Amino acid sequence: MKVQVCIIGGGPSGLMLSQLLHLQGIDTVILEKSSRDYVLSRIRAGVLEHGFARLMREAQCGERMDREGEIHHGFYIAHDGKLDRVDLHKYSGGNSVMVYGQTELTRDLYEARDKIGGKVVHNALDVTPHDIASDKPYVTYRSGEEVIRVDCDYIVGADGFHGVSRKSIPQDKITEYERVYPFGWLGVLSRTKPVSPELIYAKHERGFALCSLRSQVLSRYYVQVPLTDKVEDWSDDAFWAELKHRLPAEVADKLITGPSIEKSIAPLRSFVAEPMRYGRLFLAGDAAHIVPPTGARGLNSAGSDIHYLYEGLVDHYKKGDDKGLDGYSQRALARIWKAQRFSWWLTTLLHRFPDRLPYEDRLQSTEIEYLFSSDAAQRSLAENYVGLPY
């Protein structure tokens, strides 16, 4: 097989890039190691920046998102028995976020690829990039007993944190920065009416909690748990009881509980690999960087990578101009590090850190008090939450 761009990974990053390039007449194939059903069973992001929503429309995949997604102009932070609202609209100059699940968005992207005959190979095993430092790179994968070779001009590694792409770059050509947090998030999806029309992030002495949603009949809740906890340790009843503990009484009283339809634990990690290019291989999305989910930046940061890479590839193929590709890593990383900073800051503000000094706990409370006493601080929070421009 020969294509212009071979994309490894059929998550939102790979699908979005493939769809955008296809619309420009640039030929791609996606090699995805899992089945489509498996990819669509993962429950992940819920909050999209307006920039990501714009990208969905540009990819001609925004129709259902615009019909079913919810525009949110603010969210709440519960702390010290209070419920303070962050007015995103007021403090970000009229911007907002879109609440629309990653699962739905991924389904929309797959359906769009189907409609225009996009090539997506599922269950592609042992995907391996070759000769990435040469100008004739290729990728091999296995389907049953058969090994298939894909020749291409460029390879895009959009295969998530555990993928093969980043690992195929020589170790002395890449620097990795990492922080692993001493806790995870236990998440529950339930077919119940959300407790609040807007998200509630809760800081509590027992640990962080988040009330989110996918629609007015589908709720998504999280509680901070130690890394040693297993999903099997948490019955639905234990989860609801813990969540109620961490919410202000007036919210807990209104919480409607029900059976969980998904329950999982995600560890929290900050991670950046630099640079995001080696030879003819470009990294994008979670393959190059991870944030703790607190700031809702992960998928949104993947969106800005895809935007920059798309522009670079279009300039290369349409104008013979390589400035965009040559500047991709630097441009993408400038925004990525700001998302890292914001996610680290919000995580630090809202979680309980087991080994922290009492002094640091007081600073944490003071930081929240300062936030809600200062227009400048709320403006900074809002500007980052709705997404920095790209």
End-to-end CA distance of the chain: 34
Q: In the complex, what is the shortest distance from the CB of residue 39 to ligand RFL, in angstroms, rounded to a whole number?
A: 5
Residues 121-140 that bind ligand PHB (CB under 6 A): none
User: Binds 184, which of ligand RFL, ligand PHB, none (CB < 5 to 8 A, cut-off by type)?
Assistant: none
Q: How far is CA 108 from the centre of its chain?
A: 17
Strand partners, 272: 177, 289
387 binds ligand RFL (CB under 6 A): no
**Could you give the string, one character per residue 292-321, with x where binding to ligand RFL holds by CB under 6 A and - elsewhere?**
-x--xxxxx-x-------------------
Please, which residues have CB within 8 angstroms of residue 242's CB and are 6 or more apart in sequence? 206, 209, 223
Reduced to 3 states, what is the DSSP secondary structure of residue 31? strand
User: Binds 294, which of ligand PHB, ligand RFL, none (CB < 5 to 8 A, cut-off by type)?
Assistant: ligand PHB
Please, which residues have CB within 8 angstroms of residue 383's CB and are 6 or more apart in sequence? 91, 92
Q: Identify which of residues 5 and 97 has a Cβ nearer to ligand PHB in the complex.
A: 97
Reduced to 3 states, what is the DSSP secondary structure of residue 341? helix
Measure the CA–CA gap between 72 and 49, rounded to whole angstroms: 10
Backbone angles phi, psi at 105, to 5 degrees: -60, -40
Binding residue for ligand PHB (CB under 6 A) from 96, 165, 212, 257? 212
Measure the CA–CA gap between 140 and 131, rounded to whole angstroms: 11
218 binds ligand RFL (CB under 6 A): no
Structure tokens at 255: 């919480």
User: Binds 202, which of ligand PHB, ligand RFL, none (CB < 5 to 8 A, cut-off by type)?
Assistant: none
163 binds ligand RFL (CB under 6 A): yes
Q: In the complex, what is the shortest distance from the CB of residue 187 to ligand PHB, in angstroms, rounded to a whole number?
A: 7
Structure tokens at 378: 């709320």
**Could you give the string, one character per residue 234-273, with x where binding to ligand RFL holds by CB under 6 A and - elsewhere?**
--------------------------------x-------
**What does DSSP assign to residue 28?**
E
96 binds ligand PHB (CB under 6 A): no
Do residues 388 and 338 touch, judged by C-beta distance below 8 A?
Answer: yes
Q: In the complex, what is the shortest distance from the CB of residue 366 to ligand RFL, in angstroms, rounded to a whole number?
A: 27
Q: What angle do CA 231, 216, 93 make, to 5 degrees?
A: 100
Q: Identify which of residues 40 and 121 has a Cβ nearer to ligand PHB in the complex.
A: 40
Sole residue written with tokens 């093969």:
164
Measure the CA–CA gap between 212 and 153, rounded to whole angstroms: 42
Q: Identify which of residues 46 and 62 has a Cβ nearer to ligand RFL in the complex.
A: 46
200 binds ligand RFL (CB under 6 A): no
Q: Return residues touching ligand PHB (CB under 6 A).
A: 45-47, 199, 212, 220, 293-294, 296
Q: Return residues touching ligand RFL (CB under 6 A).
A: 8-14, 31-34, 39, 44-47, 102, 124, 127, 158-160, 162-164, 185, 187, 266, 285-286, 293, 296-300, 302
